[in-house]
Structure 1
Amino acid sequence: MKVSTVTAPGTTELLDVEQPQPGPADILVRMRACGICGSDALYISIGGVPPRQGCTPLGHEPAGEVAHVGAEVNGVSVGDHVVINPMAAPSGIIGNGGATGALADYLLIENAVRGLSFEVIPDHIPWEVAALNEPMAVARHGANRCNPKPGDKVVVFGAGPVGLGATLAFKSLGAGHVVVVDILARRLDKALQIGADAVVNSTEENVVERLIELHGEGEAMWPGKAGTDIYLDAAGAPAVVNTALAAAKRHATLGVVGVHKEQVPIDFVNIMSNEITVTGSMGYPDEIFEVTKDLVENWEKYALIVSHTMPFDKVGDALELAATPGVADKVVITFP
């Protein structure tokens, strides 16, 4: 079979490898779709993930069809459609420095346990939507880390896949009003389509003033703060942190799920005096299959997050497309 592999800095190849042989505790999954993540571009640029630099299999957003079920595995049958937890693999995180990657014809799930390493989904869910399960779990964890309460007023910065997923998560968790901020009009249009209550183009509007219009004024040590309860940075830009803290009222929460590539100076006097909570978010300790139910129930909305689907034999072109800023939202590889 073939697997997309980082073989040198800036280089990926479709390598021929032996198809894995499942044991009695394993399942073998025929890949049907796998999303491309922003981290894939990072792994390619640095030549792979230690200790597998020079030979790092890619792909950690998998969905597929069960091709073989080991005798000791329960709750799944050949032909079932499944989504997979990349972090549960005993040989290392799938597509993130582990021994296997999901941008491959087949994926071996070792020590397979339903609800821990994989979950079965209905057959009517499109494969490209099923492949969103992993990044939507990242978004769900980001929302959960902010501890939203029913009725909370929320703003999500960044209308990429994780930001849109977080918007859906906040709505699912009972947020009363969700605003999405971005610099691209087409992404803001998509945010409205999936259910955002309002959007702000930060290149055209003053974000703080607009939030005050939408959420009212909030109590704070100094005037001019918005009534927003939760700010989620899904963009990873210093301007987002600065804007959120400039707007934040007393007891507001700032969550950070976007990856920052440079340090951001923070005014701690503001954080102290207004008792602002700042919380980070990484991965999905508990959300990988928590999000699956919502994905299945609202798959038509989640489907809007996918901007491009490309066949596996064009995976090199797809990786390049996904790494080009502002051109694509979520790129998903599909398999014959």
Structure 2
Amino acid sequence: MDRFEARGKLWDAMDKEGLVIKVEDHVIRVPRSQRGGEIVEPLVSTQWFVKMKSLAEKAIGKMRGGDIVIEPQRFEKVYFNWLEYIRDSCVSPQLWWGHRSPVWYVEEHSREYIVARSDEEAAQIASEKYNGEAVTLKQETDVLDTWFSSGLWPFSTMGWPNEDAEDVKTFFPGSIMETGYDILFFWVARMIILSLWFTGEVPFHIVFLHGLIHDKHGRKMSKTVGNVIDLIDVVSSYGTDALCYTLLAGSTPGQGITLSNERIESNCNFANKLWNASRFIIGNLDKISDEERQELATVAISDFGQTDEV
């Protein structure tokens, strides 16, 4: 029975028994699903959790010991704050896609379960545990949390658990991980935690964090919000040079960048000025002597060197 239909019947039953005191209207905020628009309500259910404290301590130790550095360094404080006050993590969302939880329930023995790598291994463990008793095993339908699954990425994509795989020996651990600062804890920290647990090594030695792209109002660009800019249209209107310059000029490690058509148009005008100035110089090079050309080249190289030093 649908929850709303059940509530209506429950209310009718209470009213029939004379249990209803009064009816009042209340204005409340009703949370809804981001995608489907359905009303979202708490539901008490059984979930799987991972104890995180001991795992986090290893990840903290590697960062403090210098095995891993974060650029910009100010984000190390964020990393430590997350891990030092970490709570046990729920790892069993009810999704259609993902790594299925490696748990098998024993239907003949309520609340008992077996953890195994495969159906065959689960059956073997059950046979030994219940002395050959014929039991029915049903695998958990929940999947691993997205971030715990993706946290396996540094080594699971290299042929692990075969530690002798050529890719594992060649590419793990890596040198640098470049990603957005907003998933420092959700992804980066979990990659470090899981790599230390399963392999005993850190997955990389440098974490380089870039910023996020925001709209002109300072909001993170999102397809759901609908405030994204179609880069194909941008290139068609202003050209690739203006777009690239806008992204580069506003890019600072770990710092967000505000992107708008107005800003790109302004840089497009600047690029046109550079183009026109360059075209003027190139078009008049044949009117000056070789000595003057050499002098111009010397000045240009000198100015470029000073700019580079700054």
TM-score (normalizing by structure 2):
0.22
Which one scores higher on RCO, CA 8 angstroms, separation ≥ 6?
Answer: 1
TM-score (normalizing by structure 1):
0.21
